[in-house]
Amino acid sequence: MLKQSWTKRSRLSSSSGGVVFGPSRLVRLQTTVLAKAKLAQEPLYTPQDPLTIPSQSHVIDAKIQRLKQKLQEQEQERAGVDENKLSIWDVITPFFNLILVGSTMYIGLQYCWLLLEREELIEAHGVEVRALESEIQALLDARKSGAVEAEKRWFFWR
């Protein structure tokens, strides 16, 4: 019942010129009161003429001078380092390249060797298979011709 009366009020408020009843109106009133209180306490913004503001060029010049000094210090540090002295990267980079190229060559040559060995094994196995086939054929021919004597048999074994 309470809910229905609330909705009726909100419908009436929307048709009666935007007057809102209930907690939403209280929230709006509180926020506007707070905003007005803040404005009363703070001074209002007054624009200044940009021509009356003092120039900041001396600050910019000081920063540029500091940057130039840092650049000169860095150049002096670089000049102090002996160019003929080896750093660790002068050794690591060629060593890494050597290992990379060497391992690539090793893997490639291993693969070629396996392919060639496989071909040789296939040929060797082919020779063995032909020899065994000829031996089997000779035994079958001998059995058909009856040249093979009957073997000694045990009980019911053939």
In a domain, 25, yes or no: yes
Tokens, residue 41 = 């306490």
Residue 37 lies in a domain: yes
Tally of domains in the chain? 1
Structural domain for 9, as ranges: 1-42
Report the 10 Å Cβ neighbour count for 20. 15
Per the domain annotation, does 22 fall within a domain?
A: yes
- Does residue 87 lie in a domain region? no
Q: Which two tokens stand for residue 51?
A: 């021509």
Cα separation, 50 vs 68, in Å, equals 30
Q: Whose structure tokens read 């750093």?
A: 87
- Any domain includes 110: no
Instruction: Give pLDDT tens digits along the chain (158 positions).
Output: 445 544 444 444 444 455 555 666 656 666 777 777 776 676 667 777 777 777 788 889 999 999 999 999 888 887 766 667 777 888 899 999 999 999 999 999 999 999 999 999 999 999 999 999 999 999 888 888 875 555 555 666 65
For residues 23 and 28, what is the distance between their CA atoms, to the nearest angstrom? 9
Whether the Cβ atoms of residue 9 and residue 21 lie closer than 8 Å to each other: yes
Domain contains 3: yes
Q: Does 13 fall in a domain?
A: yes
What type of residue sits at position 52? Answer: T
**57 φψ region: left (φ > 0), alpha (ψ -120 to 50), beta (else):** alpha
The pLDDT of residue 126: 96
Residue 127 domain-assigned (yes or no): no
